């Protein structure tokens, strides 16, 4: 049986996209298992009842991602 986990969306930073079925890809700060919040990018069903696989980033990783994206001249 999979271990239970807790999460709390501490801060909603924005919606990146939305599917025709209402799922949204979001950037949030989430506390997983009552730990310090991390940046999190994943898809959520309406009302946040279900979630898809995602990517969680520490503050340092998010800062590095920002640097890399700022270097991309095509953006």
pLDDT tens digits for 41-75?
A: 999 999 999 999 999 999 999 999 999 999 988 87
Q: Is residue 73 part of a domain?
A: no
Q: Is residue 14 part of a domain?
A: yes
Q: Is residue 26 part of a domain?
A: yes
Cα 42 to chain centroid, rounded = 5
Task: Supply the pTM of this predicted model.
Answer: 0.88
How far is residue 57 from each of residues 3, 11, 45, 53, 60, measured CA to CA in Å?
22, 14, 21, 13, 8
CATH of the domain at 2: 2.30.31.70
Q: Is residue 60 part of a domain?
A: no
Domain that holds residue 1: 1-50
Paired tokens of 22: 């209402």
Number of structural domains in the chain = 1
Alpha helices, H only, the chain: 59-71
CB distance 43 to 23 below 8 Å: yes
Q: Is residue 55 part of a domain?
A: no
Q: Is residue 65 part of a domain?
A: no
């Amino acid at each position: 049986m999979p271990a239970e986990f807790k999460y709390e969306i501490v801060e909603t930073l924005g919606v990146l996209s939305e599917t025709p079925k209402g799922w949204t890809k979001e950037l949030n700060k989430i506390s997983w298992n009552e730990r310090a919040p991390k940046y999190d990018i994943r898809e959520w069903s309406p009302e946040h009842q279900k979630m898809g696989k995602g990517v969680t980033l520490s503050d340092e990783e998010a800062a590095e991602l920002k640097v890399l994206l700022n270097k991309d001249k095509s953006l």
